[in-house]
Structure 1
Amino acid sequence: MTSMENTETSIRSLNDINLEEMAQKQQQQNIYVTPPVLENQKTASQLSLSKKSSKHSNRDTTTRGKYTLNDFQILRTLGTGSFGRVHLTRSIHNGRFYAMKTLKKEIVVNMKQVEHTNDERRMLKLAQHPFIIRMWGSFQDCHNLFMIMDYIEGGELFSLLRKSQRFPTPVAKFYAAEVFLAIEYLHKLDIIYRDLKPENILLDKNGHIKLTDFGFAKEVTDVTYTLCGTPDYIAPEVVATKPYNKSVDWWSFGILIFEMLTGYTPFYDPTPMKTYENILNGTITYPDYLPPDILDLLQKLIVKDLTQRLGNLQGGSDDVKNHPWFKEVIWERLLSRDIETPYEPPITSGVGDTSQFDRYPEDKDLDYGISGVEDPYGSLFNDF
């Protein structure tokens, strides 16, 4: 089959899943809390696959249901989205600042995001890494789900990139290397992240990255089928509704590096439907200012053929780590955060500084903490 025939077949698959409806929903969503997307209808065998018990089932260092709203003072909104809000809070016990992510159960259920929401809680409890945000615990009331996580003061890498327009090569390489270590770690736990983008990378007070928002993360030992992610970063095999594996994260990793170096994503179009068609077509115009070593890396990451994509070959993630573009990186020092960061956020640490986050209107009618009324959805979120 020719490449053109492959593309046409993929587009027919997209039409089968009502891509236009998905695109319309994507356009309506705020970027801070990951937007919902449609999920493929699963066969019985696929449902069985998704319900396999985790090999990490006994690994949980977080608390479940031991916190309540009475343990925290809500200070301000850090971000809003389709399902709820992220608040800056302060513990009344130790005085520390935390980010509290809230999700409205009814909306999560209506948008068919129950599995993704439970997966997010489950994946965050497994991940303990210097470059991944830490969740301390979760709880729920009759209307909402709550996750308590570290407050990362430095804001989003997305905001820094927009201010800079594009990063110098050493800066992009630093952030890419830290992101690589986070993704490599997740893959060793059989977790696919599935939503890598600058909006989901926070900077701590020293300028090191923290990968956040695990709403699409999933533990997968072989392949999965769910169509999810953010349009510019979705791998072609996901768009084409084919079974896929961890290699989708290496595609997104290539898109991330491209965006950091150029200031834009290679397949962008104002219309998500066209973005998906561009991804399936796979044609990229690389700027003349990109040097040969980075061109080689990008062309081996942003490649449709899975038998050629770095990270999916026999050498696994080592093929990415050992690429010549990363030759200066001392990985052990980077992992121990023993390398000076290229940018230190201009914040005052330890006082709940929110200067790196946009202001949002506060909701004066929050339905938090309600108990003793009917909760038709509580049984769907037993992990909380």
Structure 2
Amino acid sequence: MGVCMQCNRSQLQGDNNKTSIGIGPKSIYRRHSSIKDPTKKMKNPVIDERSIEENFKEAPNAIISNKPKDEKDTQLISNVLRKHYIFNSIDRESQMIIIKKVKCYEVGAKELIFEQGQPGVCFFIVSSGKLEVKAGNEKSILGPGMSFGELALMDDRPRTATVRTLEVSVLWGLDRKTFMKAVKKIRIHEYEDNKKLINSVSIFNILTSNQKEALLGACVTQKRSAGDVIVKETDNSDLFFIVKEGVAVCTTEKNESREIHKGDFFGEHALMYQVPRMHTVVAATEVKLISISKENLLEVLGNSFEHILFRNSQKLAIDNSSALRSLSTKQKEAIIDKTRVKKYQSGEVVIQKDSYKAHKLFIVISGKVVGPREYSPLQCVGDEDIVSKADDVYEENHISLGESDVAEITVQEIEMCIGGEISQITIHNDAVGVLRQVQLLRGLSQDRINALTLALKITNFEDRQVIVQQSNPGHSFFIIKSGSVKVMKNEKFIRGITKNDYFGERSVLFNDFRTATVLADGPVSCWTLERDDFMNIISENIREKLIKRIEMQDTSVLLEELIPVRVVGTGVLGNVTLAVHNQKKSVYALKSLTRNRIEEYHIHNNLILEKNILMELDHIMIIKLIKTFKDPSRIYFLMEYVRGKDLFDVLLELGQVSEDQSKFYAACLMVTLDYLHERNIIHRDLKPENIIIDDEGYTKLIDFGAAAIVEGRTYTAIGTPHYLAPEIILRVGYSYAVDWWSLGVMIHEMVFGHVPFGSDDEDPLAIYEKILEGHLNLENLPYKSNHFKNILTQLLNKNPAARTCGGFGYLKSNSWFGNFNWDRLMSRQLRPPYTPKCQYEEEEIASALQNPRDLDNFLNDVENAQNALIYKKRTQGPPGANWDDNF
């Protein structure tokens, strides 16, 4: 749900819950196109599988049966369906599963199949007879072997023509629900099966879950017949194989042989070393295999397999070290960049006797190192000593037990990597980590956070000692370093809080009286920040922003305390009203949705999901939901009021967008998407219309009607066709990578003035085909640098795993961003490309406060005026009982 507050005009806001399929303009904006209207927008995604009509029926007078299909029928259906992009990407066995679900429709002469404007439900293939297709004044005839209505397999967009039989006809029909259910089942089975196989391979154990997920994107399924040679001894193939089904036989040069069954793997050396095959593998039966090439692995993981294994092992070892785990991710990465990995043979000395313990850090990557004690992989040697600066020496040699790989780095190199002594840096990191958890301080730059850590003092309290007293003035902010405290109000226990929790944050801004008493529950140690120190470090401008953010966290607002000012957005399902609090004079955007419309559009579950997602979010570049209300007539969302223009209009105004301008907007959206993805949220409808450029020139993501909370993969088809990632179209299952694809489309759009695929097409089928073709034309680039091409080819990679190579950090390191200052971006210290000239509503607000109108009466007048203009959607049945308990 979004709130678009335009500067110079009220926003005609399409419903944000993505249910008005087929309503409104369908052309994407093209700033440099002469054949399309460049001012048209698509506020709603054209496809949303969640709005599929359950009860609507096509070919209403047909006799429908599960008539057995002979070989000729099967071949006919297969030939036609194979032209469909989804069906064509499924293997033969799975295709047959779907063909079995196709039903026979026996229809008399002059019978209606479907009518223009009605929602699409089925895809039909003509087996016998003739049909007439009529679209306006145009007519055409369909005969045996021809098909129609294929877009119904994707969504329920309105039919563009009327189809009737001219004579008795037999059709093969497949409805969308059956088709998608079968495809989803096939895809889930394939994904889970491949995932189990990847997890069962021992050499992949060291990979993170994200890296394993990326590895699934590099998997290619192959089939080999009995007798086929899969790999041949002395070949230089770089393929690694896992047996998925069947049996193969592995033979060495000494004619030793063994059988390879499901779950077994071979060719692992091909992923790490350029060495000839040491064996021949032949299929003993029909075999299904998963193969991974060295090239594909490099594409999705960003580095060689050996390099990744070594880095992962070092990262895990540092994380396992109590002395080093408090280092930041960036610091750990810097250390790993500087380590030297050495290979040792069995019995070779790794650490010399009498060498100083505090001189070097050793990390065991593989094998074992033995001294007075035994060190296994993922363990550090000397970590505590380099922190404590011990003068001790090793009293005996440390020997490699078997072959081993060990990384090493001197303490001087570590301190250069992290910028100081390890002990001091880890203490500083603990403080920074705690400050970053404080909601009040999340928008501060790293420089400001570092300054605040220097102002922190550690204060210790004894059991039952009063830390703050209710009704006393507040001048300190506390973060619990160790122990726990009790919060009491009017001598009644409210709650307990413990390590890394905080209290008293409002006092550093407001100099308020304490609203509760806090008692130490046992010995307690706190980081303490004094108000005077805070005020000296934080500028007045930043303080004003923090105060505004705190005000938005005030959930004590009541619906009856809100006074309407004017309507600022209208849509099919509801309205957005500028409202002011009758006492505090705080300004809000209040979105109201009538219960009648909610029932007509059957969006109860969508509203609940959207509300749950928005309540989790608190980011400076995402619109803030403060709370929700309900009454007998409506559901309400009380939102942050954002002044600005949507990015669509900003791009029209800017015309030719410079490289720096596009980079600024791309970076803003990147940090926003990273924030969402960290919380398992996929946006799924990223496009210029869903982004506001606020009155300071920064982006604000406003629309979450298509968003979902996802762990693993989801299969729902939803989004705007031009921005859809290939994996959504193909129904192979998808995750966060679809948002990165949409961002790639937007970056291309900003620079070239049009989307990269299907920019001149409005027919979704044509758009999907061009997205799947993936022909990315980067000729006539307006910039001299090739770095821009790097970001586009990365984000618009058809392999989802290759877009980020398992991590946001890899995407940020793309050469296009060069020395881009991400910290200054987050603290809003970068100069934006464009700042909207916004009109402020002080006079209107003052007038509304002087002559307050009842909110219910105000909305009734607005809704009554709109009733005659609102399209009435077919109802899908009553909602469940008490569906609105959550509001």
- Same fold (TM > 0.5): yes
Residue in 2 that maps onto 1:88: 578
Change (3 A) 1:6 1:89: farther
Residue in 1 that maps onto 2:653: 163
Q: Deviations over 1:200-237 (max 9, x none)?
A: 11122111111111111111121112111122111111
Residue in 1 that maps onto 2:430: none
Query: How far off is 1:349 after superposition?
Result: 4.9
Q: Deviations over 1:27-68 (max 9, x none)?
A: xxxxxxxxxxx9966989x9xxxxxxxxxxxxxx97889632
Aligned 8 A contact 2:82 2:88 in 1? no
Residues 13-162 of structure 1 aligned to structure 2 (within 5 Å): 18-19=152-153, 22-24=156-158, 67-68=558-559, 70-162=560-652
> How many pairs were matched up?
336
Alpha-carbon distance between aligned partners in 2 of 1:337 and 1:350, rounded to the nearest angstrom: 25
Alpha-carbon distance between aligned partners in 1 of 2:733 and 2:809, rounded to the nearest angstrom: 24
Larger RCO (CA within 8 A; separation ≥ 6): 1
Q: Does 1:294 align with 2:788?
A: yes
Amino acid at match of 1:10: I
Change (3 A) 1:93 1:19: farther
Alpha-carbon distance between aligned partners in 1 of 2:744 and 2:562, rounded to the nearest angstrom: 39
Alpha-carbon distance between aligned partners in 1 of 2:671 and 2:884, rounded to the nearest angstrom: 31
Alpha-carbon distance between aligned partners in 2 of 1:84 and 1:341, rounded to the nearest angstrom: 33
Aligned 8 A contact 1:156 1:202 in 2? yes
Alpha-carbon distance between aligned partners in 2 of 1:337 and 1:173, rounded to the nearest angstrom: 15
Gaps of 5+ in 1: 26-37, 47-60, 355-361, 368-374
Aligned 8 A contact 1:194 1:216 in 2? yes
Amino acid at match of 2:763: T
Change (3 A) 1:65 1:238: farther
Query: How far off is 1:297 after superposition?
Result: 1.1
Alpha-carbon distance between aligned partners in 1 of 2:579 and 2:713, rounded to the nearest angstrom: 38
DSSP-derived class of the 1:296 partner = helix
Query: How far off is 1:19 after superposition?
Result: 4.8
Aligned 8 A contact 2:577 2:591 in 1? yes
Amino acid at match of 1:328: N
Alpha-carbon distance between aligned partners in 1 of 2:598 and 2:647, rounded to the nearest angstrom: 27
Change (3 A) 1:197 1:285: same
Alpha-carbon distance between aligned partners in 2 of 1:238 and 1:352, rounded to the nearest angstrom: 48
Query: How far off is 1:8 after superposition?
Result: 4.1
Change (3 A) 1:63 1:280: farther
Aligned to 1:256, which of 743, 746, 765?
746
Aligned to 1:285, which of 777, 789, 799?
777
Query: How far off is 1:346 after superposition?
Result: 0.9
Q: Does 1:10 align with 2:86?
A: yes
Alpha-carbon distance between aligned partners in 1 of 2:555 and 2:635, rounded to the nearest angstrom: 11
Q: Please say which structure displays the higher CA radius of gyration.
A: 2
Residue in 2 that maps onto 1:265: 755
Alpha-carbon distance between aligned partners in 1 of 2:83 and 2:800, rounded to the nearest angstrom: 15
Q: Deviations over 1:271-315 (max 9, x none)?
A: 23322232222223234124421112111111212242x22x23x
DSSP-derived class of the 1:195 partner = coil
Alpha-carbon distance between aligned partners in 1 of 2:580 and 2:879, rounded to the nearest angstrom: 30
DSSP-derived class of the 1:155 partner = strand
Alpha-carbon distance between aligned partners in 2 of 1:85 and 1:179, rounded to the nearest angstrom: 27
DSSP-derived class of the 1:347 partner = coil
Aligned 8 A contact 2:715 2:732 in 1? yes
TM-score normalised by the chain length of structure 1? 0.77
Residue in 1 that maps onto 2:39: none
Residue in 1 that maps onto 2:673: 183
Which one is further off, 88-97 or 166-175?
88-97
Residue in 2 that maps onto 1:217: 707
Alpha-carbon distance between aligned partners in 2 of 1:353 and 1:296, rounded to the nearest angstrom: 49
Percentage of matched positions with identical amino acids: 30
Alpha-carbon distance between aligned partners in 1 of 2:692 and 2:834, rounded to the nearest angstrom: 13
Query: How far off is 1:320 after superposition?
Result: 1.4
Aligned 8 A contact 1:169 1:261 in 2? yes
Residue in 2 that maps onto 1:51: none
Residue in 2 that maps onto 1:28: none
Change (3 A) 1:199 1:276: same
Alpha-carbon distance between aligned partners in 2 of 1:113 and 1:146, rounded to the nearest angstrom: 14
DSSP-derived class of the 2:719 partner = coil
Amino acid at match of 1:364: D
Q: Does 1:303 align with 2:797?
A: yes
Alpha-carbon distance between aligned partners in 1 of 2:772 and 2:87, rounded to the nearest angstrom: 8
Residue in 2 that maps onto 1:31: none
Residue in 1 that maps onto 2:882: 379
Change (3 A) 1:64 1:95: closer
Change (3 A) 1:297 1:350: same
Gaps of 5+ in 2: 1-80, 90-121, 124-149, 160-175, 188-551, 846-858, 865-877
Change (3 A) 1:306 1:351: same
Alpha-carbon distance between aligned partners in 1 of 2:844 and 2:703, rounded to the nearest angstrom: 21
Which one is further off, 272-281 or 299-308?
272-281
Aligned 8 A contact 2:745 2:756 in 1? yes
Residue in 1 that maps onto 2:827: 336
Alpha-carbon distance between aligned partners in 1 of 2:635 and 2:782, rounded to the nearest angstrom: 45
Residue in 2 that maps onto 1:327: 818
Amino acid at match of 1:279: I
Alpha-carbon distance between aligned partners in 2 of 1:287 and 1:364, rounded to the nearest angstrom: 54
Aligned 8 A contact 2:738 2:800 in 1? no
Which one is further off, 294-303 or 158-167?
158-167
TM-score normalised by the chain length of structure 2? 0.35
Aligned 8 A contact 2:790 2:815 in 1? no
Aligned 8 A contact 1:65 1:138 in 2? no
Alpha-carbon distance between aligned partners in 2 of 1:277 and 1:152, rounded to the nearest angstrom: 38
DSSP-derived class of the 2:766 partner = helix
Alpha-carbon distance between aligned partners in 2 of 1:324 and 1:6, rounded to the nearest angstrom: 41
Alpha-carbon distance between aligned partners in 1 of 2:683 and 2:765, rounded to the nearest angstrom: 23
Alpha-carbon distance between aligned partners in 1 of 2:882 and 2:661, rounded to the nearest angstrom: 46
Aligned to 1:226, which of 704, 716, 729?
716
Q: Deviations over 1:319-362 (max 9, x none)?
A: 211111111311111111111212111124573999xxxxxxx9
Which one is further off, 143-152 or 125-134?
143-152
Alpha-carbon distance between aligned partners in 2 of 1:190 and 1:233, rounded to the nearest angstrom: 20
Amino acid at match of 1:257: I
Query: How far off is 1:133 after superposition?
Result: 0.9
Amino acid at match of 2:811: V
